[in-house]
Structure 1
């Protein structure tokens, strides 16, 4: 489980700093999840069927948001890899918590549009100004690190789940 928590920390850190999730990091997490399943050390109650269903649900549900231009491809791939770790049923509370955190981020961004803040705080919260996704509109900047919020929500779910069991 500590390997998954470390992976989630890397995802969150990378997405907060770069506003992207690299393929190598998603693949590393998926490979670790498959290894944990093979060795029987994955999360409690998650078997091969649950993990594969989780990967499909995680990837498939967010694919629509990517197709609509509302989310980056890294977020979608990360959700699929996360589904391997936690299974389909755990994705719902993780999505709810992650989406609430992302919504708070967006609300703060909107509020700060009218209030001047230090450039360092703005950079930390909203990422570098050059974080434009080249596949989307050149004027569209991705301010919300959704994979980071999903990773934080998943880490909280894993820690809470271990303590309640």
Structure 2
């Protein structure tokens, strides 16, 4: 549940401002650790979702993409946090779904840059209305020059889908 509570605002924040606030990630990690410690102190069966191997796996697998500037630091930290919350097994479906969604977004962006499509009457009109809208202008201002695709948003959507579809975490590795 904590993964969904974190993912929903991350999706909105990354779509709107291309930003994943560190405070949200830190608060989520602290909440997960505190809940685990509380359950252990009360003698309850420890929860299985806080996973140090998941955190390390999420971090290590995404760092190379950050190093070559394909991803932002927020994307890396967000996947690491999801790894901590959901464990290593959840990372593969989250990563695959998130990357597929980011890939579709990238292809759409490239297609809309083609002259035949970009200057088509309907597309051109929609683009003009979008760029003139106050929401678009506020979003550009909130981004403070940050460019790129909202990969953390797609990872967040993938995390929500993965949590709500538990069968995705029970894949059989080859």
Instruction: Give the TM-score category using the shorter length.
Output: 0.7 to 0.9
* Residue 25 of structure 2: aligned partner: 26
Q: Counting helix residues as a fraction of each chain, which structure ranks higher? A: 2
Q: 1:39 to 1:102 in 2, by over 3 A?
A: farther
* Residue 136 of structure 1: aligned partner: none
Deviation at 1:39, TM superposition (A): 4.9
Q: TM (normalized to structure 1)? A: 0.77
* Residue 73 of structure 1: aligned partner: 73
Unaligned runs of 5+ in 2: 40-46, 119-123
Post-superposition Cα deviations, 1:23-43, rounded to whole Å, max 9, x if no partner, equal 111112222332343456xxx
Q: What SS is found at the alignment partner of 2:74? A: helix
Post-superposition Cα deviations, 1:107-148, rounded to whole Å, max 9, x if no partner, equal 111111132342565786xx6285534xxxxxxx31x11111
CA RMSD in angstroms comes to 2.8
Unaligned runs of 5+ in 1: 134-140
Q: 1:59 to 1:35 in 2, by over 3 A?
A: same
* Residue 158 of structure 2: aligned partner: 153
Q: Aligned partners of 1:36 and 1:110: how far apart in 2? A: 45
Q: 1:70 to 1:131 in 2, by over 3 A?
A: farther
* Residue 107 of structure 1: aligned partner: 107
- Who wins on radius of gyration, i.e. which is larger? 2
Q: How many aligned positions are there? A: 148
* Residue 46 of structure 1: aligned partner: 48
Q: 1:20 to 1:47 in 2, by over 3 A?
A: closer
Q: Aligned partners of 1:39 and 1:11: how far apart in 2? A: 26
* Residue 118 of structure 1: aligned partner: 127
Q: What SS is found at the alignment partner of 2:165? A: helix
